C-alpha cells in the first residue's frame, strides 16, 4: 500500500470475487476486449476491495469485470482501492447493485434477484427499496414480477428469447398454466407486448362486482 493508504497494488492471487455479487454472467468477448486494452495500456482504474477475515483475502466490492480481464491479460498484480471500515452485507449489495445498474450490466433475472435479496435483508417494501437505491418503483415492480414466473419461462427471459416486458404481462395471470398458454399463443402468432397485454386482460378473471 502507498502513502495514500486507500490505494495500492495487490497480488492478484490475494483478491477474490464476492460470492454474493448479484452479477453472475460475464461476456467472454467483453472480458477479452478489456484484457487486450489492459495489456496495451495497463489498468486505468482500480477495483474496490475489502478485507475478509473469513476468506483471508481481499474481496471485490466493485470491479469484478476488470479483475477478470486483468487475470486474463496475464498480470500478476492489480491496482486496488481499499475500503478499511466494516460494511454490512446490505451495504455491499447496495453498492454492487447500484454500480451494475448504472452500467446496465445486470441481466433481468439477476436484477430481480438482487432487488428481492435487499428487500428480504432489510424487510423493505418496494417503495423503501426505490428510495434507498434511487431506482423507480415501477422498475422494481416489473423486475420482481419475473420471479413469479415458472422456471421454464424464466429461462426464456434469461436466454433473451422472451422480452422482459412480455414476461411482465404474463406474470399478471393467476397461474402457470395460463401463463404458458398465453406465451404459446403469443409465440405462435408473433404478438407484440401490447397484444400480449390485451390477451392477458381477457384471460384474467373478473373481480366480483365488476361490470359485465
SS3 letters for the chain?
Answer: CCCCCCEEEEEHHHEECCCCCCCCCCCHHHHHHHHHHHHHHCCCCCEEEEEECCCCEEEEEECHHHHHHHHHCCCCEEEEEEECCCCCHHHHHHHHHHHHHHHCCCCHHHHHHHHHHHHHHHCCCHHHHHHHHCCCHHHHHHHHHHHHCCHHHHHHHHHCCCCHHHHHHHHCCCCHHHHHHHHHHHHHHCCCHHHHHHHHHHHCCCCCCCCC
Per the annotation, the verdict on 110 as an active-site residue is no
Q: Of 25, 40, 64, 181, which residue is the catalytic one?
A: 64
The residues assigned a catalytic role are 64
Amino acid at each position: 500500500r502507498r502513502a495514500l493508504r486507500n490505494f495500492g497494488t495487490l497480488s492478484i492471487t490475494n483478491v477474490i470475487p464476492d460470492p454474493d455479487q448479484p452479477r453472475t454472467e460475464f461476456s467472454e468477448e467483453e472480458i477479452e476486449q478489456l484484457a487486450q486494452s489492459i495489456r496495451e495500456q495497463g489498468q486505468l482504474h482500480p477495483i474496490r476491495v475489502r478485507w475478509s477475515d473469513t476468506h483471508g483475502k481481499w474481496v471485490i466490492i466493485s470491479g469484478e469485470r476488470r479483475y477478470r480481464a486483468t487475470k486474463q491479460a496475464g498480470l500478476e498484480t492489480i491496482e486496488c482501492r481499499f475500503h478499511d471500515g466494516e460494511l454490512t452485507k446490505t451495504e455491499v449489495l447496495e453498492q454492487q447493485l447500484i454500480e451494475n445498474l448504472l452500467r446496465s450490466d445486470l441481466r433481468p433475472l439477476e436484477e430481480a434477484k438482487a432487488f428481492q435479496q435487499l428487500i428480504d435483508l432489510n424487510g423493505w417494501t418496494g417503495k423503501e427499496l426505490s428510495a434507498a437505491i434511487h431506482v423507480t418503483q415501477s422498475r422494481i415492480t416489473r423486475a420482481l414480477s419475473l420471479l413469479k414466473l415458472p422456471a421454464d419461462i424464466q429461462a426464456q427471459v434469461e436466454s433473451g428469447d422472451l422480452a422482459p416486458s412480455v414476461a411482465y404481462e404474463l406474470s399478471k395471470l393467476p397461474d402457470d398454466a395460463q401463463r404458458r398458454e398465453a406465451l404459446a399463443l403469443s409465440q405462435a402468432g408473433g404478438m407484440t407486448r401490447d397484444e400480449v397485454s390485451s390477451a392477458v386482460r381477457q384471460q384474467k378473471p373478473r373481480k366480483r362486482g365488476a361490470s359485465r
